[in-house]
Structure formats: C-alpha cells, structure tokens
Chain A
Amino acid sequence: MGKRNQKKRETRGQRKGASPGPPPERIQPPPVRLVREGTFRWVVPRAGSMTTTGLIFADEHMIDDLRRDQGAQQVANVATLPGIVGPAIAMPDIHLGYGFPIGGVAAFDASGGVVSPGGIGYDINCGVRLMASELHADELGDHLTPLVDALQRAVPAGVGSTQRGGGVRDRDLDTVLSEGARAAVSMGYGERHDLDRIEDGGRIADAAPDEVSAKARERGGPQLGTLGSGNHFIELQRVDRIFDDPTARAFGLFAGQLVVMIHTGSRGLGHQVCTEAVQLMGGAARAAGIALPDRQLACAPLGSDEANRYLGAMAAAANFAFANRQVIGHLVAQAIEGFLGLAPATHGLRLVYDIAHNIAKWETHEVDGRRRRVLVHRKGATRALGPGAPELTGDLAQVGQPVLVPGDMGRASYVLVGTDDAARETFSSSCHGAGRRLSRSEALRTARGRQIVFELASKGIVARAESHRTLVEEMPDAYKDIEAVVAVICGAGICRPVARMVPMGVVKG
C-alpha cells in the first residue's frame, strides 16, 4: 500500500511555555444552589471558594434544563477566579461549555484580576454580521434557490476549506492581524464606510501579530475569506416584523426587507492561538499560585507577561476575524448584487452591524458607584451598548448599538438594541443566539429517519450544506427556542426588540 513512499517529517513539538512541574493546583468546585430573585433572574449564592455570586438570566424552563447539566456549576466555577468584579453572569442562551459556560460574561479588575483564554473561547471573535438590501424579499420570487446556490459557490465552506489562491501572503497577514477589517477594505473588500458599522471599527487596538505563532499562521492564513463548518452560516432572511420603527429605520431596516446574516470567526488561526494560550496559562496559573476547579479555566494575572502575550495574540486573532467577515461580506454582497443586477454604489447591500461574541475587551464600567477599568470576557455573549454610550459614533450614537441574535435555521433571528440597564447589570452585555439544547450526537440520534432538508423545504426554506450531517446537527430542534431567549433578555430589560427576521435560504459549512 505505497509504503515505499514513506517519509519521515517532524512536526514542531515544543509545548511553548509548558514548564515541567506539577499541574495547576486543583480545588473542589463550589456547591451550587439556584435562588430566584425576580421573574428572569436567578442567583447562585456565594459558597465554597466563590469570591462573588453567580447571576443567571433565564425562565423556569431554562432553569429546569440547566439543573440537568453542569451549566450553573460552570457559572459558580468562574466566580472562584481571582479579581472577578461583579457577579459571574450567564445569559438565557447559556449551555454547557468547557471551563466557562457558553453565554457567559465575567469582568476582571485590572489589578488583581486575570485573563482566561477559555473565557473567550477557541473561535476568537466568532461573531455575526447583518447586511441589508433595498429589496422586498417577495421580489425574489423563483430566484431564491439559484441565489442560495450562488452564495454557496461564492464563499468556500466546509471542513478544512481554504480560500482560492491560498489566502493571504504572510506580509499581508501581518496587516490583517494588526488592522482587522480596515486591512480587508484596503485590499478591495467592501467600502470604508462599512467600518462605522463594525464593533470597534473592525479593529482591536494593541494587537501583537508577533505573538501569533507560526503554527497559527500556517493553520489560519489560507482560511481568510472562508466560512468554516459546524454552526457557521450565511442566511438570507426576510424582515418579518418591526417592533421599534425609529430605531429600525436608524439601523436601516424595514418590514418585508431582504437581508443577509453571516456567522463565522477567526477559523483555524484563532483556534490555534487559544490552544497555545491555554497551554501557556496552565504554567502561569501554577506560577501565580492560582488554584482552579477546572483546568480549562487556566488563567494568568493581568499585567503578567503571559497575560500580555495572550491579549496581544487574541486581539490579532480578533482582527483576523473582523477581516474574515469583511471579506465574506463582500463576496456575499457581490454575489447577490451580481445575481440580481443591482448597482453596488446606489442599490447595493449595506452593512447594518457586525458584532463579536467571543472576545475579551478593556472597558470602563461603573461598579459600586465607581468607574473602573475592567477586562470583560464575553464567551457566547455580545456587547450591548445603550443610546449615548461614548463608544458609539455617527448615527448609532443616539439610538444605541444593534445586538444581533441569530436563531436556528428553521425559526427566526432578532435585532435588538442595548439599554442603560445592560450597562448597569451585565457590563453592557447580551445574549448571542438561541443556544444549543441537544448535543450533536443527540441531534443525530433524534433526527433518525428524518429528512431535515425536506422539512425545511416544506416551510419554504432552502438549505444547502457541504455535508448532510451538518444540517442534521444544526437542525432547528437542536436549539432552544429563540423567542424564549429574546423574551428573557428583553423581559429583564437588558435589550429592547427592534426587528424579527425569518430564514429564507441558508448555506452551512
């Protein structure tokens, strides 16, 4: 079987930063109780090694689900980390993560606090972008299916997909890592005014491209401009309902409108940065004498060399993700404009907003009556700024920041807007989606005998995927009901609803 062709090659093996020695000290996970403190608020009281409380936004059904898995335990575990400010927070789309729960928010003090790569996640700056056309969705008529096919052709997707031509050269990659979406715009992807509608202008400052290893570059470089697999998608949607007309108009949305949503992140580059950082932080936590209830919570004291190196690499990976969504957004807009014969300059797609939901950022928040600079970790949670927040510029300053909440591919997605309550209660953070209800294997098992493509087709939704398995793993029933998640987040006053969109066509990786 071709054994004569055998070659021996070395893969780089040194585990950077992993000094031989005992593992980080382990402590017992704290005991967990859930105490209801309002219609949608549940508190995990301080116990064991917790230094603060946990705060979970959920309804009764979600809490019932949560009692069956370890999600609340993970909230309590986060509350044991040094220097945490305010409660360890979880959004209604909470589900079991590794270390941190998905749907988690935690802020750490600049002095005495930590950064934990697991609190950001492997897909650094995974996020969502919404682009709006000027068309009514009805105008598509019979063209929906060929348009979905055109989108599938326009953006490489699926397992191990790479951009045609092999992505960017290493010099350009450095620019992408330091400049984010700006670099993509200067390479010809999209327009300069797009940047006004991207969180932080599509660029996180203080990126340190030098801290992005050769392995991360090798893994992620060729993947710029690709969607990836799993829960990443491109979705054509129809604006089904407007809740707040002035805000919707400010965002550029109207009832019946054809819009397109994109969900992807930093691909293999971000995964590799996080992988190496978790390894590095195991040693850092040990050196700093930090005891952990779960090794995936590995962290380093803010200000330490390990923390600075990771934050620089994370910002660079976040910039890669902003650039990735900018490139994909351009490819998608080109495909739609080309297909429908729209003049890009006058009738093209416009960016509504682009947000991150796996990221840590330095922000200033009022805590106990005092303005404090804190590092806010959001893992499966988005920033949600209310009207008048100083970070918002241009036409959004008066109305607040769009919060994009994708649902599953069979039901609905939402645009919300941040409020002042969010600033007070959640470090200006909101939910990021519906949240998984079934594991992928449970989804495969429950779906036996079902044809997800036909089920979606019977609802008028055209679905395309590189693999049938992805469609089943991502089927609507695998997710919580987005309506319930939005009801909790709006009921708790963290956001206000602006628009609801329903899916028309979806491309999965």
Chain B
Amino acid sequence: MTARVAIGLGSNLGKPERQILIAVRALEHVPGVTPLALSSAYRTEPIGPPQPRYLNAVLVVETTLEAEALLSALHGIEAAMGRRRGMRYGPRIIDLDVLLLEGRVIETPRLSAPHPRLCERAFALVPLLEVWPGACDPGTGRRLADVLSGLGDQGIGPPRPLPARVGRRSLPHTADVAFAVTGSSIEDAMERAATALVDLMVVRRDVVERDRMAIDLTAGDHVELMVGLLEELVFLVDARSFAPRRVGGLRIDGGRLTATVYGEPDVRSEQLGTRVKAVTYHGAEIVEARAGRWTATVTVDV
C-alpha cells in the first residue's frame, strides 16, 4: 500500500538552499520513499525570536512506510544534519515536517497529520500546492487551494527554482505547463511523466480504477514514444471521456511501447482539472542522467 505524503522542508542557517538540497538527497535514499516532486523554494519571515529569514520548500513523496516510520526517518535526517531540538520556533539548520498524508488523518502522541497549523501557513501551502495542486484537507475535504485563497499575503517571496531535478518539478513557461520527472528506468520515468500529466488533467484521488485501456504504439525514438503515450492520455480524456488514474505495465521493445491505462469511463466534470490541448516536443527529453536514473521533461499546451 503506497501513500502520498507532503514533507515540508525549512532552514534558516548555514546556506538554507544547500541544507534543503542535502535533506532531499537524503530522503531519496530512504528505502520505501520515492520522491515525486520538489517545489521551488520560498523565502519567508521567521515566526518567534529574531533570527534569519527562512527558506521553505515542499517535497511530495510516495511511500510504503507507515507514517510513524516515515517520521522517524525524518528525525534521523535532521539529527544527521546537526539539528538540535531546543527552542520552539528557534533557528534551525533543517526542519522536516509531515504536512499532509493523502486521504488520512493521524493523531498519535508523536504525529499529527495534517500538520496542525498547515491551514494557517501560506509558506507551507504555497509550495505544497505548486507540486500538488489538487491537495485536500482529509479531515474536512476542503481543497487546500481554497484554504490558501482565504489566507492573506503572509509576505512570502517569489519562487526560487531549486537546482535539483528531483522527482517531478514544475518548470516555468509563460503559455504552458512544463514538468520534469525522474525514474529508476526509462519505463519508470515514462510512467511518472504520465502520472504528472494525469494529475494535471484530472483530480486523481476522485478517480477509481475500474476500467482499463490498452496502449500500443510505435515510433522513431524514445521522445516520440513518450510524447505519443502522453498524447494518448490527452485523447482518452478529451475524446473518449475516460478518466485515467495511472499508467502501469509499461514496456518498451525497440520502437514499440505497450502500456495499460487504469481509470474509469464517463468522466464527470468535477473530476476534470486543466484541459490539455496537446503535448509538445518543445524541450521534450528523456535521458539517462546517470546509471539507473532517468529524467524526462515535457511541456504541454493548455
């Protein structure tokens, strides 16, 4: 059973951007944790005693760990990075928080999720929504985007892209939506690119897997195969009213790609997100950055 979790990262000591990147790299190496998307970093004013400004970001991961085990892993990383737990709201080299678990409310002595103050903090909500736009408060069912629009401007700085290709990342593009994903194999990276696109087109948590569509296509190279796969998803939504949830069983054999799209037919309007016109070749890329680490970049026209 995998769960999607948003982890808040904050730092205001020792080159905060560097500390955040160190923590992200550490999280990538926790067994059972797969980073999906890293937000931009946002500079925010500190709460509590006088201290340097914070840099905040959110990493969304998929994990097979129990929530408490994930929390222990976060505490382990904090300790390894030299964090000493002391003054409440005091300065810190790194702060890792479980902000949100998809669809679950947790209340134990060690852990409360969603984070008790998540809905009051624009510095947590803004980066979270950047990489998880459809996120909801599992307790109330409210969309966090709506929660954020009710909060005032809390003095957050502009987004600063982090120099790391971690999981999935939104890239700036004036007309369109662009994202980058990483995977352990070319098939994994393509499935993740598909998930990123599905997340844009539908509210994934509202889609159940009770039907499937087979995809079978041939093309000249890997980029064409990836763009072709994503175009099939756009077609399924726009022409067939099929709501995808995920792509699985993806196989590449030379110039041929086969995969299965899981989801439900007769998409309802409330399940739909952004309407995507097309998947472009502009900057489209799928490469093995280093052994066992594939990165894919895609721009879609919306």
Please give the residue numbers on chain A whose beta carbons come within 8 Å of chain B beta carbons, in ascending order.
1-3, 5-11, 13-15, 18-23, 69, 95-99, 102, 118, 121-123, 158-160, 215, 218-219, 228-230, 268, 271-272, 274-275, 278-279, 282-283, 286, 294-296, 298, 436-442, 444-445, 447-451, 466, 469
Contacts and interface: CB of A to CB of B under 8 A. Distances in A.
Interface in B183-238: 208-221, 223-224, 227-228, 231-232, 234-238
Contacts of B302: 230, 440
A219 B130 contact: no
A121 B176 CA distance: 13
The 3 A-B pairs with the shortest beta carbon distances in the complex, nearest first, are A98-B282, A219-B239, A2-B210
A15 B130 CA distance: 33
B218 A18 contact: yes
Nearest to B127: A445
A2 B208 contact: yes
Contacts of B238: 160, 219, 268, 271
A14 B210 contact: no
B64 interface: no
B255 A20 contact: yes
Interface of chain B: mostly helix, strand, loop or mixed: mixed
Contacts of A283: 220
A195 to B, nearest CB: 28
A450 B153 CA distance: 9
A441 B37 CA distance: 15
Contacts of B210: 1-3, 5-6
25 contacts: A6-B210, A6-B212, A13-B217, A13-B218, A18-B228, A21-B220, A21-B221, A23-B221, A97-B175, A98-B281, A98-B301, A102-B175, A122-B277, A122-B278, A159-B272, A268-B239, A271-B234, A286-B220, A296-B282, A440-B302, A444-B129, A445-B126, A449-B152, A451-B149, A466-B269
A298 B220 CA distance: 14
B44 to A, nearest CB: 13
Nearest to A74: B282
B175 to A, nearest CB: 6
Contacts of B240: 11, 218
B141 interface: no
Interface string B272-287: 1111011111111000
Given A272-B235, A294-B282, A449 B218 contact: no
Interface in B94-143: 122, 126, 129-130
Contacts of B273: 159
A449 B151 contact: yes
Contacts of B173: 96, 439
Contacts of A5: 210-211
Contact of A20 (B148, B236, B254): B254
B177 A296 contact: no
A118 B282 CA distance: 10
A437 B174 CA distance: 7
A477 to B, nearest CB: 14
A355 B215 CA distance: 39
B149 A219 contact: no
Interface of B: 122, 126, 129-130, 145, 148-153, 159, 170, 172-177, 208-221, 223-224, 227-228, 231-232, 234-241, 254-255, 267, 269, 272-275, 277-284, 299, 301-302
A13 B54 CA distance: 49
Given A5-B210, A96-B173, 5 more contacts: A14-B218, A230-B302, A449-B152, A450-B149, A469-B274
Given A96-B173, A99-B282, A282-B224, A215 B212 contact: no
B216 A10 contact: yes
Nearest to B261: A11
A160 B237 contact: yes
A10 B175 contact: no
B212 to A, nearest CB: 6
Contact of B235 (A10, A118, A215, A286): A215
B275 A275 contact: no
A313 B92 CA distance: 61
A96 B174 contact: yes
B270 to A, nearest CB: 10
Contacts of B126: 445, 448
Given A122-B301, A441-B130, A99 B175 contact: no
A3 B176 contact: no
B221 A218 contact: no
A10 to B, nearest CB: 5
Given A6-B212, A98-B299, A295-B284, A275 B278 contact: yes
A11 B260 CA distance: 10
A25 to B, nearest CB: 12
Given A438-B174, A442-B172, A7 B218 contact: no
A296 B211 contact: no
B224 A18 contact: yes
A8 B223 contact: no
A429 to B, nearest CB: 19
Contacts of B214: 8-11
Given A20-B219, A99-B282, A436 B174 contact: yes
Given A11-B235, A23-B221, A445 B159 contact: yes
A449 B254 CA distance: 50
Contacts of B232: 11, 13
A172 to B, nearest CB: 18
A5 B175 CA distance: 40
Given A230-B302, A282-B224, A441 B170 contact: yes
